[in-house]
Structure 1
Amino acid sequence: MSLLIIVKPSTKKHSKKSLNWLLDTCETRQLTYCIFFTTGNFEHDCEQIKVQLSKVSKVVVLGGDGTLHLAVNALIGSHCSLALLPCGTGNDFSRGFDCHIEQWRQALFNPPIAIDIGKINTRYFINIAGVGFDAHVVKAINAKACFSAFDYSWISAKELLYYNAQQLKGVFSTQTMQYPNLITVFANHKYFGGGLKIAPNADLSDGHLECYQMRSGGVFYNVLSFIKLLFKRHQHIQNLTYSRLTSAEIMTQGLLIEADGELVGETPAKISVHTGALLFHCPIKKRLQ
């Protein structure tokens, strides 16, 4: 077996610890490997990873949601399986499994299972894509040289007071809707925004995306909505629409789009789900559900 190890350069102790563990494991199991260090240039990194996929059978990501997003976009359509050792800042995708690091390490050698992957315009996403305030927060965070998990909550709270919601018009499944958009998310898994559990029933293998459309209602209402989201009570928000879908289209132009916590462009946008599109090494806790 040959591995491609994708690493986001980091000075964090747990990142170095995970890499050292993986290299020691490769030596013990006599596995060949090569290491790719990301540069932050998505297009360049994606193409460089694709070039190496013909030489390996498994890709292991050491990083967070952004590094995972890069790997997913490079792997789609390949024969390689994907494994993850979470060591990013937000780790929203891995948070949805509720597993500790030993279970993630063991998952590298579990048989992979086919999981669904979402797509918004040309970008694939493994976790959640969104249009509206969440993308606005991602843009604000990207303006910082470095950030912590606390910054997600702090910047969200601060920006919410000044956020100017825009009208969104789209087709969700077959229903045309128009509303003042606070957030509209398409969830393949459960968490986003540094630990907000917006889609508790999302399933990686059910062939659907969970869609949450949260309408804006003024500063007070918007703050109250996010407080309910923080405490997992957002299902009771009056101006929220929930649905399960396989496709959607947003016609409004100029709204920011984020996918897996990365800014990926602006609307208009077409959203779809690709069933069983990627082989992923899930932790045991998830596999037994």
Structure 2
Amino acid sequence: MQLLIIVKPSVKKAVLEHLDWLKKTCQKKNILYITVKTTGNYEYDLASIKANAQKSQIAVAIGGDGTLNLALNGVINSTCSLAILPCGTGNDFARSFHCTAKQWQNAIFNAPTHLIDIGKINTRYFINVAGVGFDAHVIKQLGHLQSMPAWRYKWTSFKSLFTYKASTLQGVFLNKQSEYPNLITVFANSQYFGGGIKIAPRAEIDDGLLDCYQMQASSVVNHLFSFIKLLFKRHHTLKRLTYSQLKEAHITTKNLFVEADGELVGVTPAIIAIHKQAINFHIPIKKRLQ
């Protein structure tokens, strides 16, 4: 058996502790391991992970949602299962499980894997949330910051509400043509995004569906009202929000920024789809899905 460790180099205490624990545990269990330290060059890192995934049985991503997304895209077409030791800025995917660091550690070797759904937007797979509109705009505003506190994302989001210029979005949702001024259009496989905002409280990672939120743009006052509603998990009551569950959608408008798991991944047009039971994921026993 061989373990593939994918880690973003960091001096953060949590990262170093997870990495040290994992290496020592492998040594105690006589498990071979190989470590891929990410460089920030997506294509280079992806090729390295893909090559090593072919000879590994478990891949462990140490970091946040961006590292998890990279690991996912590297192992998705292999027989490698995927585990995470969350220690990033937002940890939005891991947040839905409400598990401790110790529980995530135990899941790597002591819990059965569970087949979960994976989203895909054009050529990029995502495990948590993908979006077009305001969320992608905020990520672009933040640039290539190596790390940031969750509050900075929320603060940048709040400030950007005053300057964001919405674009008209055209697409096909549930086999129906739609056109609207787009504040945000989100496709959620899990519940949280943006450093702890519970955008999709009804989302499940094994139901074969993406929870889609189409929030129309309006005035700055209405945008602020929508943002506050979102923070307090009351956005389902918004009149300019369309909520649906779907398996596939098409966005035909060109040159709108696209984000997936908190990373800018390209521009529209885009095809968004769910891939049911696409990967074996290590879920802590306490929160393992029934």
Instruction: Give the TM-score category using the shorter length.
Output: over 0.9
Q: Is the 1:97–1:285 contact (alpha carbons within 8 Å) kept by the matching residues of 2?
A: no
- Distance in 2, Cα, partners of 1:189 & 1:146: 22
Structure 1 ranges of 4+ moved more than 3 A: 143-146
Question: Which amino acid is the alignment partner of residue 32 of structure 2?
Answer: T
Q: Is the 1:73–1:124 contact (alpha carbons within 8 Å) kept by the matching residues of 2?
A: yes
Q: Is 1:239 matched up with 2:240?
A: yes
Q: Is the 2:7–2:37 contact (alpha carbons within 8 Å) kept by the matching residues of 1?
A: yes
Alignment of 1:133-282 (within 5 A): 133-144=134-145, 146-282=147-283
- Distance in 1, Cα, partners of 2:237 & 2:33: 49
Q: Is 1:112 matched up with 2:113?
A: yes
CA apart distance, 1:173: 2.0
- Distance in 2, Cα, partners of 1:102 & 1:81: 19
- Distance in 1, Cα, partners of 2:108 & 2:234: 35
> Where does residue 67 of structure 1 map in the other structure?
67
Identical-pair percentage: 57
> Residue 186 and residue 51 in structure 1: after superposition, are their counterparts in 2 closer, same or farther (change >3 A)?
same
Q: Is the 1:5–1:62 contact (alpha carbons within 8 Å) kept by the matching residues of 2?
A: yes
Q: Is 1:56 matched up with 2:39?
A: no
> Where does residue 88 of structure 1 map in the other structure?
88
- Distance in 2, Cα, partners of 1:144 & 1:162: 21
Secondary structure of the residue aligned to 2:94 is helix
Q: Is the 2:121–2:273 contact (alpha carbons within 8 Å) kept by the matching residues of 1?
A: yes
- Distance in 1, Cα, partners of 2:191 & 2:287: 13
CA apart distance, 1:144: 4.1
Question: Which amino acid is the alignment partner of residue 87 of structure 2?
Answer: C
- Distance in 2, Cα, partners of 1:133 & 1:143: 17
CA apart distance, 1:254: 1.1
- Distance in 2, Cα, partners of 1:129 & 1:143: 18
Q: Is the 2:89–2:147 contact (alpha carbons within 8 Å) kept by the matching residues of 1?
A: no
Describe the superposition over 1:66-117 as per-residue Cα deviations: whole angstroms up to 9, x where unpaired.
0000011111111000000001111111011111111111111211111110
Describe the superposition over 1:221-262 as per-residue Cα deviations: whole angstroms up to 9, x where unpaired.
001101010011111111000000000000111111000000
- Distance in 2, Cα, partners of 1:204 & 1:172: 20
Secondary structure of the residue aligned to 1:55 is coil
> Residue 119 and residue 288 in structure 1: after superposition, are their counterparts in 2 closer, same or farther (change >3 A)?
closer
What TM-score comes out, normalization by structure 1 length?
0.98
Q: Is 1:101 matched up with 2:101?
A: yes
Secondary structure of the residue aligned to 1:223 is helix
Q: Is the 1:141–1:147 contact (alpha carbons within 8 Å) kept by the matching residues of 2?
A: no
> Where does residue 283 of structure 1 map in the other structure?
284
Aligned residues: 289
> Residue 254 and residue 246 in structure 1: after superposition, are their counterparts in 2 closer, same or farther (change >3 A)?
same
Secondary structure of the residue aligned to 2:54 is helix
Describe the superposition over 1:202-227 as per-residue Cα deviations: whole angstroms up to 9, x where unpaired.
11111000000111111000011010
CA apart distance, 1:31: 1.1
- Distance in 2, Cα, partners of 1:83 & 1:105: 9
Structure 2: gaps spanning 5 or more residues: none
Question: Which amino acid is the alignment partner of residue 277 of structure 2?
Answer: G
Structure 1: gaps spanning 5 or more residues: none
Secondary structure of the residue aligned to 1:108 is helix
Question: Which amino acid is the alignment partner of residue 105 of structure 2?
Answer: R
Question: Which amino acid is the alignment partner of residue 237 of structure 1?
Answer: L
- Distance in 1, Cα, partners of 2:131 & 2:274: 14
